[in-house]
Amino acid sequence: MIVDFHSHTFESDGTLSPAELCDAMRKRGVAVFSITDHDTLAAYDGLAAPSGARVIVGIEVNTTYRGNEVHLLGFRVRRDDVRFNRLLEHNQQARRERIARTVEQLQAAGYAITLEQVLAEAGTGKSLGRPHVGKALIRHGHTPDIETAFRILLRRGKPGYVASTHLTPHEAIAGINDAGGLAVLAHPGRLHDYAIIDELVPAGLRGLEVFYPTHEASQIALFREKARCLGLVMSGGSDFHDSRYHKRGVGVEVEAEDIKPFLDAVS
């Protein structure tokens, strides 16, 4: 079964429009999917699902905790929930402030880049991110590609790195749950501290993104067992942003019995 519960459009840091992403899902034969842009649900405004496919409303909420970037996927959230949208506005403002400081630091390091150039890369998207800075650096001749931009300028310890000041995962989970959603921990393999998984269960975490392109077989086995022991549903997604950097494209293949509890939970 081909599904995808983690993908991005140009409403955050992807490059495709929501309609183009849906078309990519259709061509790949993805039976059920979510668009999970960072800290915004704008991709769902007027979205038409491909014929024969099921779309589950989703979002990726960025949080920080104990030195970890902890990303929460929220599914089936009410898009008009006032309190949840206030949380998203908090993160969007934190993003703007972070990117402004990033640009200032790059300028101080000798890179002729402006905030206006970064904003141009984001277009109408509300969720600014480091990929937009990377694209501006590429467009204006400072780095050859996004990987180089992150490696020499935008990662921790580099001239353009600014720590994020997002919500805590506990706040994000509470917001997702209060908005009627299902909170799933995204790409747990990227955590520095796996103990966070156990800690978030009492806070209302209900799922784990077990099936993820960069998870090794040993990690999948570990997270599968974590999900079983902690009573969490398993999800999977491509984390697709751009075909130039995500050569696998959209969709992940999973066993139907593995993903059924998740689908039941979001029905």
d(CA 179, CA 176): 5
The predicted pLDDT at position 243 comes to 85
The predicted pLDDT at position 248 comes to 86
Do the domain assignments include residue 218? yes
Query: In the 8-state DSSP scheme, what is residue 85?
Result: H
Do the domain assignments include residue 217? yes
Same domain, 72 and 91: no
The β-bridge partners of 32 are 3, 54
- The β-bridge relationship of strands 54-55 and 32-33 is parallel
- The β-bridge relationship of strands 32-33 and 2-4 is parallel
Same domain, 63 and 173: yes
Same domain, 35 and 68: yes
Same domain, 173 and 61: yes
- Return per-residue pLDDT of the chain as tens, 267 residues: 999 999 999 999 999 999 999 999 999 999 999 999 999 999 999 898 888 899 999 999 999 999 899 999 999 999 999 999 999 999 999 999 999 999 999 999 999 999 999 999 998 887 899 999 999 999 999 999 999 999 999 999 999 999 988 899 999 999 999 999 999 999 999 999 999 999 999 999 999 999 999 999 999 999 999 999 999 999 999 999 998 877 789 999 999 999 999 999 999
Same domain, 41 and 100: no
Same domain, 138 and 180: no
The values of phi and psi at residue 187, to 5°, are: 25, 65
Do the domain assignments include residue 161? no
Count how many domains the chain has.
2
The predicted pLDDT at position 185 comes to 98
Cβ atoms 101, 171 nearer than 8 A: no
17 membership: H or E segment, kind and range:
none
The predicted pLDDT at position 94 comes to 93
Do the domain assignments include residue 44? yes
For residue 127, the domain's CATH number is: 1.10.150.650
Alpha helices in the chain (DSSP H): 18-28, 82-108, 115-122, 130-139, 146-149, 169-178, 195-200, 217-230, 256-265
Among candidate residues 96, 105, 107, the one with its CA nearest the CA of residue 132 = 96
Query: In the 8-state DSSP scheme, what is residue 49?
Result: P
Query: In the 8-state DSSP scheme, what is residue 50?
Result: P
Do the domain assignments include residue 160? no
The predicted pLDDT at position 51 comes to 86
d(CA 219, CA 222): 5
Among candidate residues 23, 1, 2, 20, the one with its CA nearest the CA of residue 11 = 20
Do the domain assignments include residue 159? no
In whole angstroms, what separates CA 148 from the centre of its chain?
Answer: 21
Same domain, 219 and 94: no
User: Can you give the residue range of the structural domain that contains 259?
Assistant: 2-79+166-265
Same domain, 170 and 261: yes
Helix, strand, coil abundance in the chain, percent, nearest 5: 40, 15, 45
Cβ atoms 55, 48 nearer than 8 A: no
Same domain, 57 and 171: yes
Same domain, 99 and 73: no
Tell me the residue type at 203: A
Same domain, 202 and 243: yes
For residue 248, the domain's CATH number is: 3.20.20.140
Q: What is the pTM of this model?
A: 0.92
Same domain, 68 and 95: no
Do the domain assignments include residue 144? yes
